[in-house]
C-alpha cells in the first residue's frame, strides 16, 4: 500500500467562533507521489485549507497528518521548521521578495531549512537548473523580482517551492489569470519537476478545466451553515 502523504479527518475551521466554517470536510487523503487538484468557488476555503495543511493555522476540530506527523501535536516553532523542511509553497500572490533577484528568491528555502539546502546539492546550480527547466532564460535569473511579469513571477515561485526536493508541493493558483495555454504549460512543467523527484502535489484553482492534468480532484463546496 502506498503511504499517504496527507490525511485529513473530520476537519472544521472557523476564522472566528461566531463565523460560519471556512473549511469543513469529513476526510481527504493524498497518496505519496500523487497530484491532487483542489477546486471550488472563490471563498470556498481553498487558501484556508492550504494554510491548515502547512500548519500555519490549526483546526478547531479534526486531525491533519502530513508525512505521518499530526501537525497539531507539534509546538509552533516545530511546525514552522517542519513546513520549511518538507513543504514547498506557491502562494496565491507569489510572495516574492521584490528587491531580491529571481535567483535569490529561489534560494530562500535553503536559508530557512538546512535539510532543503543539503538536498539541493549545490543550491545556486540547482536554482538555476530549476529556473531554466521552468523556461526562464538566464538574464531573468538575475533580474529583481519586482521587474518580472506575472507569468515569470509564477515560475520563480514554483522554482522556490521545488528547490531542495520537498516531499509536498502546494500551489495556490494566482487570481490574476494567465492565458489558458500558458497556464497549461506552467502546470505541465510543475508536475514534471515534482514527478521527477516523487513529490506529492496539491494544486488549487477555481478553474475545473485544469483537473485533467492531475491524478485526482476534490471539490470544496463553499460556505456552510454554522
Ligand atoms: N485572514 C482572514 N480572516 C478572516 N476571514 C478570512 C481570512 N481569510 C479568509 N477568510 C474567510 O474565509 C473564507 C474562505 O476564504 P479563502 O481565502 O480560503 O477562500 P478561497 O477558496 O481561497 O477563495 P479564492 O478562490 O478567492 O482565493 C472566506 O469567507 C473568507 O472571507
Ligand atoms: Mg484563495
Tell me how far apart the alpha carbons of residues 44 and 53 are, in angstroms, rounded to a whole number. 16
If you measure from the C-alpha of residue 174 to the centroid of ligand 2, how many angstroms do you get, rounded to a whole number? 8
21 domain-assigned: no
Least Cα distance to 6 among 200, 217, 190 occurs for: 200
16 domain-assigned: no
pLDDT at 226 over 50: no
92 domain-assigned: yes
156 domain-assigned: yes
Which domain range does residue 80 map to? 35-57+75-219
Q: Is 19 touching ligand 1 by the criterion CB < 6 Å?
A: no
Q: Is 47 touching ligand 1 by the criterion CB < 6 Å?
A: yes
Helix (H, G, I), strand (E, B) or coil at 68: coil
Q: Please give the average per-residue pLDDT across 104-108, as a whole number.
A: 98
- Indicate which CATH number applies to the domain containing 173: 3.40.50.300
Reported as a pLDDT band with limits 50, 70 and 90, residue 196 is: very high
129 domain-assigned: yes
Tell me how far apart the alpha carbons of residues 6 and 163 are, in angstroms, rounded to a whole number. 20
If you measure from the C-alpha of residue 43 to the centroid of ligand 1, how many angstroms do you get, rounded to a whole number? 5
Task: Write out pLDDT tens, residues 146-189.
Answer: 999 999 999 999 999 999 999 999 999 876 567 888 888 899 99
Task: Write out pLDDT tens, residues 111-127.
Answer: 999 999 999 999 999 99
If you measure from the C-alpha of residue 86 to the centroid of ligand 2, how many angstroms do you get, rounded to a whole number? 22
For residue 69, what is its C-alpha cell?
Answer: 506527523
Query: Count of domains in the chain?
Result: 1
30, with CB counted inside 10 A (0-12, 13-18, 19+), is buried
12 domain-assigned: no
Collect residues with CB below 5 Å from ion ligand 2: 46-47
209 domain-assigned: yes
Amino acid at each position: 500500500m502506498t503511504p499517504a502523504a496527507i490525511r485529513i479527518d473530520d476537519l472544521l475551521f472557523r476564522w472566528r467562533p461566531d463565523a460560519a466554517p471556512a473549511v469543513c470536510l469529513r476526510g481527504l487523503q493524498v497518496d505519496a507521489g500523487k497530484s491532487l487538484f483542489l477546486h471550488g468557488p472563490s471563498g470556498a476555503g481553498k487558501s484556508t485549507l492550504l494554510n491548515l495543511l502547512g500548519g500555519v493555522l490549526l483546526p478547531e476540530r479534526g486531525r491533519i497528518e502530513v508525512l505521518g506527523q499530526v501537525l497539531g501535536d507539534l509546538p509552533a516553532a516545530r511546525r514552522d521548521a517542519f513546513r520549511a523542511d518538507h513543504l514547498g509553497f506557491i502562494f496565491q500572490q507569489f510572495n516574492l521578495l521584490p528587491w531580491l533577484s529571481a535567483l535569490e528568491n529561489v534560494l530562500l528555502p535553503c536559508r530557512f531549512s538546512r535539510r532543503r539546502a543539503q538536498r539541493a546539492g549545490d543550491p545556486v546550480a540547482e536554482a538555476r537548473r530549476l529556473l531554466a527547466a521552468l523556461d526562464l532564460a538566464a538574464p531573468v535569473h538575475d533580474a529583481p523580482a519586482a521587474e518580472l511579469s506575472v507569468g515569470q513571477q509564477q515560475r520563480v515561485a514554483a522554482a522556490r517551492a521545488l528547490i531542495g526536493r520537498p516531499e509536498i508541493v502546494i500551489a495556490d493558483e494566482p487570481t490574476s489569470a494567465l492565458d489558458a495555454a500558458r497556464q497549461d504549460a506552467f502546470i505541465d512543467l510543475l508536475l514534471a519537476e515534482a514527478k521527477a523527484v516523487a513529490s506529492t502535489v496539491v494544486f488549487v484553482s477555481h478553474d475545473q478545466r485544469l483537473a485533467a492534468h492531475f491524478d485526482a480532484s476534490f471539490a470544496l463546496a463553499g460556505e456552510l451553515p454554522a
